[in-house]
């Protein structure tokens, strides 16, 4: 029996009214920014009415498109409920799970990253290195938030622990990057356990508030304990990573750090993927879905939560060591709550629990603002609009985690 063709969703009068209302609302919000331009020297005001019309028209069109997509998805969900035996995967999942497409794609991406320093300038290499560091940070937070379902708003504290570990060890003892990297990871795990113990009984908003406070405590300690951390002045002249004592120029050192960060990102992807498919990974997902049922099945919630905090903090601390080696200067201003919010955005935008999605989201969120510099004063407005649109169109993230299903023979 041939299935009936799908009907194309047509906008209703209510959809059009809601879209126009959205357009007027965005016109009202952006009026002071995009319409009024004050020239303080000439003491004149320019009224840019065309900008307001563009904003209103585009906002209404996007809102109408979003409502049509939502209606189409609702119809698809109803169809799937009526056909329980038919597996319908999301387009992004279907693409990335097809071996014939996945292998060539991975090969092309790997080749691109290998030859990247040969094709682009040092400035572009520096930006890509930063983006790859946020891949490591995003995957680390994905363990805590995406796997275990523990909302951590103070993740930047572990990032600071790693950076200051390398900075202080180099300042006082002259230790190099390769010695500080494992020490930073161990100290990050220790701080993760120290944070985990007080919040074992907390969930949801309460957990988020406590972790946010922990992040601010670390930052304030670093800013005010001058005898220990050099205070707001920070620590300068931190050594870059070495390679068997070989002297490298600044450009060569940046390229070396780029490949080093790629190696760290690949190691993180491998370890996090193995953790996800391990027994402890399944325990994390069980804890995220229902902690009461998880405990009833005999899983030690205390150990599982502490392990999630410790492992997530380990990768953040190692990324902090990389950050200190890359910038050669650190101070508390680099570890504010905004950094935690950006890393959390990476996890949510990519898809909680999804490794490929977090990697893609980290690259997009770090590279998009840089390549939007061409639109100057509007770049952060465009950046925010892209995030809002993404959450409306694809609320599960760029590449949602594929839920495993187990089928048994009757």
Q: What is the pLDDT of residues 12-26, one digit of tens each?
A: 777 788 888 888 877
Residues 79 and 126 in one domain: no
Dihedrals phi, psi of 405, to nearest 5 degrees: -120, 140
Domain assignment of residue 134, yes or no: yes
Q: Are both 138 and 78 inside the same structural domain?
A: no
Token pair in block for residue 115? 């030859």
Q: Is the same domain home to 19 and 165?
A: no
Whether residue 326 is predicted with pLDDT greater than 90 in this model: the reply is yes
Is 27 or 116 the better-scoring residue by pLDDT? 116
Is the same domain home to 30 and 176? Answer: no
Structural domains counted in the chain: 2
**Residue 408 pLDDT > 90, yes or no?**
no
Question: Is residue 327 included in any domain, yes or no?
Answer: yes
- For residue range 263-311, what is the model confidence (pLDDT) as tens digits? 999 999 999 999 988 889 889 988 888 878 888 888 888 889 999 999 9
Q: Is residue 300 part of a domain?
A: yes
Phi, psi of 37 (to 5 degrees): -130, 115
Compute and round to an integer the Cα radius of gyration of the chain: 24
Q: Which residue has the tokens 């709550």?
A: 337
* Same domain, residue pair 195 and 337: yes
Confidence class for position 208, pLDDT limits 50, 70, 90: confident
The stretch 80-105 carries a mean pLDDT of 55
56 in a structural domain: yes
Note whether 167 and 32 are same-domain residues. no
Residue 31 has what pLDDT?
77
Smallest CA-to-CA distance from 181 within 324, 10, 358, 332 is with 324
Residues 197 and 311 in one domain: yes
Statement to judge: residues 48 and 169 lie in one domain: no
Q: How far is CA 328 from the centre of its chain?
A: 24
Window from 148-152, 165-169, 332-336, 389-393 with minimum mean pLDDT: 389-393
Q: Is the pLDDT of residue 232 over 70?
A: yes
- Do both 212 and 73 map to the same domain? no
Residue 67 included in any domain: yes
73 & 128 share domain = no
Please state, in angstroms and as integers, the Cα–Cα distance from residue 380 to each residue in 88, 129, 132, 373, 377, following that order: 36, 21, 21, 9, 7
Do 299 and 373 have their domain in common?
A: yes
- Does 81 map to a domain? yes
pLDDT tens-place string over residues 23-51: 887 787 777 777 777 778 877 888 888 87
Q: pLDDT band at residue 85, thresholds of 50, 70 and 90?
A: very low
Confidence of residue 86 (pLDDT cuts 50, 70, 90): very low
Domain with residue 214: its CATH number is 1.10.3470
pLDDT at 57 over 80: yes
pLDDT at 409 over 70: no
Whole-angstrom distance, CA of residue 286 vs CA of residue 289: 5
Instruction: State whether 19 and 135 are in the same domain.
Output: no
Q: Do 23 and 57 contact (CB within 8 A), yes or no?
A: yes
What integer best gives the mean pLDDT of the chain?
82
User: What are the DSSP E strand ranges found in 59-121?
Assistant: none
Enter the tokens of residue 239.
Answer: 């050594």
Label residue 395 by pLDDT band (50, 70, 90).
confident
Residue 161: partners with Cβ closer than 8 Å, 6 or more residues away: 184, 187, 188, 191, 218, 313, 316, 317, 320
N-terminal to C-terminal alpha carbon distance within the chain: 27
Residue 378 confidence (pLDDT): 66
Quote the domain boundaries for residue 207. 120-393
User: Quick count: other Cβ atoms within 10 Å of Cβ 354?
Assistant: 25
Query: Contact 330/222 with Cβ under 8 angstroms?
Result: no
Domain termination residue (choose one: 88, 106, 134): 88
Band of residue 380 on the pLDDT scale cut at 50, 70, 90: low
The pLDDT, as a whole number, for residue 375 is 62
User: Could you tell me the two tokens for 369?
Assistant: 């603002």
In a domain, 384, yes or no: yes
**Is 115 within a domain?**
no
């Amino acid at each position: 029996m041939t299935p009936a063709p799908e009907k194309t969703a047509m906008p209703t009068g209510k959809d059009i009214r809601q879209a126009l209302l959205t357009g007027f609302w965005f016109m009202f919000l952006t009026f002071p920014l995009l319409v009024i331009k004050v020239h303080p020297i000439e003491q004149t005001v320019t009224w840019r009415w065309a900008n307001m019309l563009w904003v209103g028209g585009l906002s209404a069109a996007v809102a109408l498109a979003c409502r049509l997509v939502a209606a189409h998805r609702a119809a698809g969900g109803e169809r799937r409920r009526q056909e329980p035996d038919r597996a319908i995967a999301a387009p992004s999942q279907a693409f990335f799970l097809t071996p014939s497409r996945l292998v060539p794609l991975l090969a092309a991406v790997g080749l691109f990253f290998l030859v990247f320093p040969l094709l682009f300038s040092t400035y572009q290499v520096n930006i890509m290195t930063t983006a790859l560091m946020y891949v490591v940070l995003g995957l680390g937070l994905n363990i805590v938030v995406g796997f275990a379902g523990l909302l951590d708003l103070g993740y930047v504290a572990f990032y600071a622990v790693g950076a200051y570990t390398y900075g202080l060890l180099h300042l006082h003892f002259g230790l190099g990057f390769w010695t500080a990297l494992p020490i930073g990871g161990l100290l990050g795990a220790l701080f993760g356990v120290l944070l985990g113990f007080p919040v074992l009984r907390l969930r949801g908003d309460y957990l988020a508030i406590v972790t946010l406070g922990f992040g601010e405590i670390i930052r304030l300690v670093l800013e005010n304990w001058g005898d220990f951390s050099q205070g707001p002045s920070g620590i300068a002249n931190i050594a870059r990573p070495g390679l068997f004592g070989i002297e490298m120029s600044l450009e060569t050192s940046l390229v070396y750090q780029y490949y080093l960060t790629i190696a760290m990102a690949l190691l993180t992807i491998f370890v996090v993927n193995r953790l996800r498919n391990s027994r402890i990974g399944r325990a994390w997902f069980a804890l995220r879905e229902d902690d009461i049922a998880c405990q009833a099945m005999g899983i030690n919630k205390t150990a599982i939560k502490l392990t999630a905090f410790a492992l997530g903090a380990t990768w953040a601390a190692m990324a902090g060591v990389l950050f200190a080696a890359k910038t050669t200067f650190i101070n508390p201003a680099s570890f504010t709550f905004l950094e935690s919010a950006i890393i959390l955005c990476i996890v949510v935008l990519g898809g909680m629990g999804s490794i490929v999605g977090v990697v893609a989201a980290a690259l997009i969120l770090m590279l998009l603002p840089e390549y939007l510099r061409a639109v100057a004063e509007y770049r952060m407005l465009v950046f925010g609009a892209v995030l809002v649109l993404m959450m409306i169109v694809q609320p599960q993230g760029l590449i949602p985690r594929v839920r495993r299903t187990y089928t048994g023979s009757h």
